[in-house]
Amino acid sequence: MSYCLNPNCSDPKSAGHFRTCEVCGTTLLLRDRYRVIQSLGQGGFGATFLAQDEGLPGGPSCVIKQLRPSGSAPHVIQMARDLFEREAKTLGKIGTHPQIPRLLDYFEESEHFYLVQEFISGATLQQEVRKNGLYSEPGAKQFLTEILPLLQYIHERKVIHRDIKPANLIRRSQDARLVLIDFGAVKNQVSQAAANPSGQTALTAYAIGTPGFAPPEQMAMRPVYASDIYAVGVTCIYLLTGKTPKDLNYNPTTGEMMWGDLVQVSDHFRNVLSKMLEVSVRSRYQTSQEVLNALDMEPYLDSLSNSLLIKPGNNTTQQSMRQESHEAPRFSRSSHPPSNPGANPNLNVAQIAAAIRARRNKPGETSGITTKRTNSDNSISKSNVLTNVKSNNQPERKFDAQGLLQAYLKGRRDFSLRNLRLLNLAGADLSGANFHASQLDKINLQGAKLYDSDFGKACLVQANLKDANLSKAYLSHADLEGADLRGANLTCAQLSQANLKGANLCGANLAGAKVSEEQLALAKTNWLTVRPNGKRGLM
């Protein structure tokens, strides 16, 4: 099978293995080694093809991008050459990264320009949503934890992608990792127009990305690193709603995308997305790390919003008690936030964040944080850790198995920072639940459905997770020491930095899971264990 690259060929497909096209006479073997076998897509800038590299044993697959100038004038050819060289240099500048296709070759032939890249087998996120349906909130968060570190890597090399969208993100079949493609950001053909008096050429005029995914400053030809963060935010909205930007309404006054009523997510995650999608670039997150930090704090802030809110009323009594004990005000689960954000000068966001970081450094401890104010600096320090704070500051009765299941059936999904030790939840369906930083040691979740659930920083020491469905579960920094995971489905699970010492993974399916060989070396595996690369065996 061969495919002719001449755009004017009347019958480009050929069943034979020829060196030249029988219809138009165009060479079919580029550079005497690349044989195009199929068209993958066409756009204003040119076309993309699947090819075989006959210069290597076995003829491995590769992708060839062909840039086709719209005219033969010298300045048009030069602009096309500049675009071609820019993308090649960009890929070379980025270097080797497992989530970016490798640049294999680039060359010019018959005034057409070609980039040869590694072929990524898999479905785009656009295809994935159309086939499997919408993402849940944990799924969208996991997407962000996969794409944002890659974005940070690109930005550190002073590269702005400019065209992040679902169609340019491929879920690689081999390991289920996301791969970012298309670093050309060239969506319109090279025009015949020469440079205008201001010095702006067609090169700068049309390399603006995809309308809707690109923020205003990028459409005005002034992209910054935060422009890519906006595009990732729009991609999140697509994953949650299935709607592209052209299907959404916009505020005619501010230009903001109106998506709030279309998604069902926690308040904090909604705030994170809102800041990613700020029309004003100054109000937007400036770096990927800022977004990751905000996401990392969410489980703690969700719990704080329930258990660390100022109880209104009786201020005189509370003030008197604080003066006697030198304590900052306590908070109750049933109370509401003060109407005046400045009403409590002893407690602010920065201090809460400091308390969160202090608590995060001790992952074995759980639940609510009480704080103490010193006379010298009014600062907040961690003084005690309780199990679920009630309005009277006494430990709240922890969930029993029946109570937790009833709460889940009524729509509750947030069980973060909870003491759930020793519960028997065998066979329960708790998909999409949030157990972030909860105490779950020796819990029985055998055969449970835990798809897309969040166990980040949770204590699962000696937990029974045998035959549980943990596909796409978030287990980053979780403590799974001695846990029974025999036969568990951990496909595409996030296990980075999880403690797997002594965990039993015999027969578990880890295909596509994010976990290192060093972590797996601490666990028990056997020949039935499916490794992250999809292969069975001990190594």
- The string of pLDDT tens digits covering residues 284-298 is 999 999 999 998 865
Alpha helices (H) along 326-474: 349-360, 401-409
Please name the residues in contact with 82: beta carbons below 8 A apart, sequence gap of 6 or more. 203
- The string of pLDDT tens digits covering residues 141-156 is 999 999 999 999 999 9
Is 163 known to be catalytic?
yes
Cα dihedral sign, 122-128-132-134: positive
CB-facing half-sphere around the CA of 528: CA atoms within 13 A: 10
Catalytic residue among 163, 414, 441, 452: 163
- Please report, for the chain, the start and end positions of each structural domain, with discontinuous segments joined by +: 2-118, 122-190+206-286, 300-385, 398-539
- The string of pLDDT tens digits covering residues 233-289 is 999 999 999 999 999 999 988 889 999 999 999 999 999 999 999 999 999 999 999
pLDDT at 70: 63
Which of residues 186 and 471 earns the better pLDDT score?
Answer: 471
User: If one looks up domain 2-118 in CATH, what number appears?
Assistant: 3.30.200.20
Work out the pLDDT band at 14, boundaries 50, 70, 90.
Answer: confident
User: If one looks up domain 398-539 in CATH, what number appears?
Assistant: 2.160.20.80
Please name the residues in contact with 278: beta carbons below 8 A apart, sequence gap of 6 or more. 230, 284
pTM across the whole model: 0.56
Mean pLDDT over residues 163-174, rounded?
Answer: 93
Mean pLDDT over residues 334-356, rounded?
Answer: 42
- Confidence check: pLDDT of 101 > 70: yes
CATH architecture of residue range(s) 122-190+206-286:
Orthogonal Bundle (1.10)
Please name the residues in contact with 515: beta carbons below 8 A apart, sequence gap of 6 or more. 493, 495, 496, 498, 500, 532
- Confidence check: pLDDT of 345 > 80: no
pLDDT at 304: 44
Mean pLDDT over residues 76-85, rounded?
Answer: 76
pLDDT at 275: 97
- The string of pLDDT tens digits covering residues 29-78 is 888 899 999 988 876 567 889 999 998 888 899 999 888 766 667 777 77
Work out the pLDDT band at 385, boundaries 50, 70, 90.
Answer: very low
Which of residues 315 and 183 earns the better pLDDT score?
Answer: 183
Neighbours of 11 (CB within 10 A): 10
Give φ, ψ of 244 to 5 degrees: -80, 165
- The string of pLDDT tens digits covering residues 356-376 is 555 444 444 433 333 333 333
pLDDT at 220: 86
- The string of pLDDT tens digits covering residues 444-453 is 999 999 999 9
Which of residues 70 and 354 earns the better pLDDT score?
Answer: 70
